[in-house]
Amino acid sequence: MLVNLLRPKTTVSAHCDLPCGVYDPAQARIEAESVKAIIEKYHANEDPAFRVRAIQIKEQRSNLVKEHLWVLWTDYFKPPHFEKYPQLNELFNQATKLAGAAGTKGSVDVKVADDLLAKIAEIDSIFWETKKAA
């Protein structure tokens, strides 16, 4: 190992964190669907202890939505994508904000979850266009 470690490192042209190259906006979508379901169940159940759990779990799931989206934005999308889809940066910024304090973390409004899912759907369609174009 030593000998190899002392050799010049082979070049890595990576677009993900290994790179493993496997990305799927479904990961963000599934967590966002969970967030929407949690909000619906929150309104359907008046047990205060249940609602405390709902708020907690909604916080965690919303954070997973942000994580999955951030990874797509930084690790999957590359300069040529941002040139071809100039709306990408704002789209991801809005989508992650919609999963944050001004979004599904801070709100129990189903419409906010629907807005988040709509943004993820926009990202998803661009994502698959770029995969087909690859």
Pull the structure tokens for residue 37: 């379901």
Min dist. Cβ of residue 128 to its own copies (A)? 15
Residue matched to tokens 């801070």? 106
Nearer to its own copies, 49 or 133 (CB): 49
Q: Where does this chain bind its own copies (CB under 8 A)? A: 1-2, 4-10, 12-22, 24, 26-27, 30, 33-34, 37-38, 41, 45-57, 59, 61, 63, 66, 70, 73-75, 82, 89-90, 93, 96-97, 100-102, 105-109
CA distances to 4, 75, 89, 121 from 114, rounded to whole Å, are 52, 26, 20, 10
Nearer to its own copies, 101 or 118 (CB): 101
Min dist. Cβ of residue 125 to its own copies (A)? 18
Nearer to its own copies, 18 or 133 (CB): 18
Listed residue (14, 132, 22, 23) closest to 69, CA to CA: 23
Min dist. Cβ of residue 71 to its own copies (A)? 9
Nearer to its own copies, 20 or 134 (CB): 20
92, 67 contact by CB (below 8 A): no
CB atoms within 10 A of CB 131: 11
- Our measurement of the distance from residue 18's CA atom to the centroid of its chain's CA atoms, rounded to an integer in Å, reads 19
Min dist. Cβ of residue 98 to its own copies (A)? 10
